[in-house]
Structures are given as C-alpha cells and as structure tokens.
Structure 1
Amino acid sequence: MNRKKSLQIFIQSPDLHQIRHESVTGDQTLADLKRSLFPESNHRSSFYFTLHGKPLPDDTPLSIPQIAPLSTLVLQSRLRGGGGDGGATGAESRDCYLKMYSEKKPDKVDPNEQRLSKWQNCALSNEPLREPCVIDKLGNIFNKEALVEALLGKKLPKEFGYIKGLKDMITIRLSSVPRAEDGAKFQCPISGLELNGKYRFFALRNCGHVLSAKALKEVRSSSCLVCHEDYGEEDKVVINGNEDEVAALRERMEMEKTRVREGKKNKKVKGESLEGSRLSGTKHVMAAVEKASAKVEVNGKVSNGGGAAKRFKAIDVAPAHATKEVYASIFTSSRKSDFKETYSCRSLPLGRN
C-alpha cells in the first residue's frame, strides 16, 4: 500500500454527540492522530483508540489493512487504578459491552457526508473523482485509471467481479461546478442540479453525458440535450440507484450476456452450415467434371455417352481403306485371345503345340 496515499476516516468518542471526519495519510500513526486531535493537551496518554471493540497501540500505522477507508475509530479514555487484588479492573467488560453495542447498533455515520462521498469518490479506490471517469453497467462511478489498474493486477474485489474488461465500462462526461468548495463538484449541464445524492442522474451509454432525471423529464427528446446524439430508453443507466433500480440494471446486464452467448452460438452453427454447403457444392462440381469428361472425341466428332464415358476401341479410329478386323488384330485388346499366358509359359490351343 502507498504510505503517502490519503484516506478518509471517522473518529467517534462517547463524549461527542457526532462523529468527526478526518483526512489522514498512510505514513501517520495513531499517536500522530491524537496529537492532531489534542494539540495543546498533556494528557494524550489517557486516551486510546479501538477498532471493532479491539484496542490499538499508539504506534499502529494508519496504513494497516484493518483500517480501511471510511473506517470508524472509537476514542476511549483509560480507566485509572484497579482493585489491587489481581482481579479484573472492569476494562475488559467495558470493551465487551462496547463490542456488543456496536454489533447491535452500528456506528452512526453522518448520512450527508456518506451520501456526498458516494457521488464524489471512486467506488473502488475511494479517491476523489477525476477524469477520465467511467461507470459499470450497475451505475457505480470509478476513476478509470484505478479500475484498469485493478483489472490488470487482478485485484478487483468480488463485489465487482462482473467487470471483465473495457467492454463492461462506460466512459462518462461530467460537468464541473464552477468554484466548487466544500459541496458537490459536478452538476447537470442542463438543469444545474448538483451530483450530491439528492437527485437522480442518468448516464447515456451512446455519448456518455450525465444528465439529471429532471432535465430528461422536462425536455422530452430522443437525442442528447448536450451533443444531440440519438439514444433509446435502454441507453439510460441510472447512477448510484436504489436497490430496485440496481436489481433492474443487473437483470438487464444478465439478459445482454445471454443474448451475446446465443448470438455467438448461432454464428458458430451458421458457419458450420455454410462450410457444409461449400463441401456439398464441391461434390456437385466434381460430378459435373466427371460428366464433362464422358464426352469422347471419335473421328473428329464429340460424342456424349449420356453420363458415362464411351470405352475406346481401335476399330473406331481405323484408317479409311483398312479392314477393321485386320487393323484391330494389331492390338491385343481388340478381341479376346484363345491363348492363356502365365508368368512362365504360354499355352496354345489344342492341335497347335
């Protein structure tokens, strides 16, 4: 992990009525965090941090995997003294109680900050959004660089396992808010509504422009309101939708995958059919060649045997003034011979040997 990388955490204390938000770096420790919280106090040792009910030493770096972005650290005060009889001081039961309480009633995070963070930070790296940005087919926003690096390094979490490559990303075009300070950084280029989680926004798959639902509703058009490129209802992808909207997007994604698989299967079957027809055509061509070869030229004329080649006979090409039988006797294949020959002797008819 990059120790210089900035991350956001929350700090909760039983004495505070709200959770405090802090921006820290990975090279800092919990001791540095306490110094930033109590810059002029000499009683920092009276406090310690816990994570999920477990105490953490002051020299614990904030870059450990257990302290993930947006984690909540609880600031506790140390109990002084004890029974002196070797028994429990009560601190153990207090930690157990806090752990039980945290399981039953999770730490409350400021909903405004959590909502704003979801629209301003990358869903994978939790870093502030910076162009180029992309969304997946379920409407989550990413920094394209962080998502591509995770894909190449095969470090993509299981929750985003449906993202296999660039084909599963949709590049979006965000419109920045002029002079944005602590609020939202992006807005709808038509209505001016900010991307802060209070309004619904859609991304158009064909051009990537991000528009508010209000702008698309008030200005009814089949083309983008920014670049005027045509789009259909299936090209609208809701960003950071609710559970029902995400379920609908997931169902549409599965239908698209099924349609692609069936298309590949049909293409393969069609290819095999075309190859078979080409082979069949080759057979027809060969038959035509054989039929054409059945035409035999006899006496300067082409004779068509009607499908089978006419067998060659010497008498058919005998000279004009020659006796056919005499001319044919020159060739051994002209008529059947009474002689029987073997590899060692020749047999003659009776009366001639």
Structure 2
Amino acid sequence: MTVVSMGIPAVRPLASPHVESVEGRPDVPELVDSFGRVARDLRVSITEKCSLRCTYCMPEGGLPAIPADRLLSAEEIVRLVGIAVDRLGVREVRFTGGEPLMRADLETIVSGCTQRVPGIPLAMTSNAVGLEHRADALARAGLGRVNVSLDSVNREHFARLTRRDRLPSVLAGIRAAAQSGLAPIKINAVLMAETLDGAADLLEWCLGEGVALRFIEEMPLDADHAWRRDAMVSAGRLLEVLGRRFDLREVGRADPSAPAEEWAVNGGPATVGIIGSVTRSFCSDCDRTRLTAEGTVRSCLFSDRETDLRAAMRAGAGDEELAGLWRGAMWNKWAGHGIDAAGFTPPERSMGAIGG
C-alpha cells in the first residue's frame, strides 16, 4: 500500500511484499515487459535532497526529508545494482537524485558498484554544485561520465529558475569534471518559456566548452503541479529559435532507444540533441528501469505504482527473490506516459522524488 504526501509516497513495509502478476510473461531473466521492450538502463535515485530548487522539479521549500532508515544504504544500493547486472541484464547504471552530490557517501557507492559490476558504465546526473571539489575522487572511484542539468548561462535567469544564485559553482563543476576525465559531458537543459531567448547562447557556450547539449521538453513532473501543455515550449519552437543563429541538419538517433534526436550544428561534427518527451514521445523504445531512493522499483516516470524491494531485502529475501519481484514490476510497465490522453493525471511524485 502507498500513501502519498507532498510528492513522496510513504511505502509501508508489508509482511509479505506485494508481487505483480506475471501472467503471460516469457521465462527469461531479462526485464522484459508485455510490449516486448527490454530494460537495460538502470537509474538509481540515492537521495531526495537537492542544493537547488528548480521550478519544474522542486517546491520552493524542498521536498520532505526521507527518514534515514527508509533510504537505501550504500551496501543495499551496491547489492541491488549487482542483482540488476548479474540476473536482469542491465548494462548501464546512472546515479540520480534529488542531487547525488548531497550524499556524503557517494564515492563509497560508486566504488562499491565499480568493484561489484566491473566493466559496467557508471554515470551520474547532477546539477554540478560542488562537483569541483569531488570530481577527482569520483573519477578515482570509477565514475565514468556525468550529465549536468544547466538551463541557462545567464546568471539572472539561472537564479530565477533555480531559486539559487549558484551558476559560477555549476560552471566550475563542469570544467572540473572535464579535467578529471569524466567524459563525455552532456548538458541537459529543460525548455522553459523564460529561458527560450537564451537557448542559442547556451548552445554557443557548450560548443565553446566542447560539451554536448541536449534540450528536454518540460514534462508534468513539477512538485507544484503547475505544468500546462499550452504553456510548454515544444521541440519545434526551439528549432525555430536555434535556426536563427545556427545551421541545423537533422541526423536522427544513433541508437533507437536513445531519447535524444540529434541535429548537426553548422555542418558538424558538433551536434545538439532534443528530447521531445511530450511532442515526440519515445515510449515505444524505452529501455529504462528505476529505483527510488527508498528502494522501490518504478517502471515508468508517470506511474505511481511501485514495488518495494527494500522491505523484501530487509526481511531476508535472497537475490533471486528480489530479481523476481523486479521482473514482475517491469512486466506490467505501461505502454506510454499518456500525456495527450483525455483525463491524463500527472504522477504524485515530482521528478526530484522519482529520480531522473
């Protein structure tokens, strides 16, 4: 049973963990769903805390704190990552939040996973605030690359959107990551009406820094539930704005499961990506599975249905039992987010509580 409060469901441990129906599921170890998709990309949220308060993600006062005993420990994260790789066919792991840098034991988590699943790419999505002080240690621990959330290089616009004046720290973090070998660095920018005029400036900055830029259509995942379809900036509108300064040639997706469509900039080789989560949905090719910071499996960003692995694990479940719960959760994954459907209801959890 799940009780929702301010965007973070309180998952009540069950005497015997709920098991999703697997009727019709083929007897295969991978995380296949009923539409034939196979999840190989694991997103692990490790905290709900964040050093910024982006309007499309966090409430102004931040999310309610998750009690420490409900968070997965470093050892539990490493164990679940090992199960995902060894038993479920996961081939890439990304740490998310909240903000992963808010966990003091982040380096321990990364090094533990490096040792447990050697050869599996480990990445992190971060706002880069404070990354300049930890980039070297994270690289030594085994982190391979980082995606940085950065919506504007205009300090005033950045402060208004994030409710924090931390742009210099973010830029320093990006440069420190590059110097530490955390490459390729990708910049994620959420398309917002208030920063659209600065989109070309952001692309110019990324080209100069040698980092890849991807714009993302704003999704209804804000904690304040203020998102409106008629107010969002579409991929098409962005292309019009960028096209005034740059020559863009569509090159498509290198990988069908990759969310970003790529455009060559001024003849290449540099490209800019656009993730049209709303207007150019890629749900049919989605290959992601998610663990929340509390240890629940979430098969889709927009489904509040979660399967509690933490309770089962702490009750003594073995690795194969946990893998079976995970398979069941993913077998029942939705066909798509349904944003355009009549009666669409946004999820109760905001992006900050789910983990990107």
* Shorter-normalised TM range: under 0.3
* Bigger Rg over Cα: 1
Q: Which has the higher contact order (CA 8 A, sep 6+)?
A: 2
Report the TM-score, using the length of structure 2 for normalisation: 0.23
Structure 1 length-normalised TM = 0.23
